[in-house]
Amino acid sequence: MSTQLEDLFVKVRAENRAALIAYIPAGFPSKDGCTKAIRTLVAAGVDAVEIGFPYSDPVMDGPTIQEAANISLKAGTNAADIFAALKVASDTGVAAVVMTYWNPIEKYGVDKFAESVAANGGSGVITPDLPIEESSQWLEAVSTHKINPIYVVAPSTSDARLAQVSAKTGGFVYAASIMGVTGARTSLSVDAADLVRRIRSATSLPVAVGLGVSTREQAKEVAGYADGVIVGSAFIRLLLNAKSEESGLIAISALAKDLANGVREGR
């Protein structure tokens, strides 16, 4: 049986386009605001939603996502809120995944975490700081609950390592397009296209590129060579800078529509 995420990539490949994946931290801009933001993004055309587990020591997150995570943590967001947000996303009919550092999974209980993701309609979990060498317990749990273990690779990852990591990955390979932390960029790194090409020679899994996309033109560019375009900081910045929650939702809706057009123009 395939996950909703796997089905999504079959669908977009048939449509000869990339998938648009939106990232939002659970509990941001508020618990209710997060629910509204998810529904707004889906209504505007995103194909999948990545729910972030706000964490106090985020090694991969740039200042925009850290600021959003801090707002969420101050409001008391916990694991139950992550799964509630995941359910909101999956209930809209799109593929939904969680992105989390390893510590919250371990704290919650490894098998229990995978079970909760599946129970709330989630397709998988992105674990940016979990090395495959320390993954045996996690891989057993995701296999039991039939969800995808999604690993992150970077331009610095060697070809031999790409093959090893992608062999353990399910759903898609997350290609971090630049060395360093997340955040919208004015221009995308040339490393991204090269990294995707290298991943493709190691695996037939879909490849989604994250870290830096914020405009329709960039979405179009990445969609020309990748199977998925992941956008987080650009949406979060609009919500952070909005005068009101309502105006923030209008802003992310407009951007999501723009990006959804972009991923359809890539090929």
Catalytic residue of the set 6, 15, 57, 61: 61
CA distance 185 to 22: 16
CA distance 184 to 211: 7
Number of H helices, E strands in the chain: 12, 9
Describe the strand order of the beta sheet including 173-176 as a list of residue ranges.
Answer: 148-150, 124-126, 95-99, 48-52, 19-25, 228-231, 207-210, 173-176, 152-153
The verdict on whether 50 is a catalytic residue reads: yes
The verdict on whether 245 is a catalytic residue reads: no
What is the phi/psi pair of residue 152, to 5°? -105, 135
Asked whether the beta carbons of 24 and 49 are under 8 A apart, the reply is: yes
C-beta neighbour count of 190 within 10 angstroms: 11
Burial class (CB in 10 A: 0-12, 13-18, 19+), 266: middle
DSSP state of 132: G
Catalytic residue of the set 50, 81, 221, 227: 50
H or E segment and range at residue 218: helix 216-223
Buried b (16+ CB within 10 A) or exposed e, 77-105: bebebbbbbbbbbbebebbbbbbbbbebb
Which residues belong to the active site? 50, 61
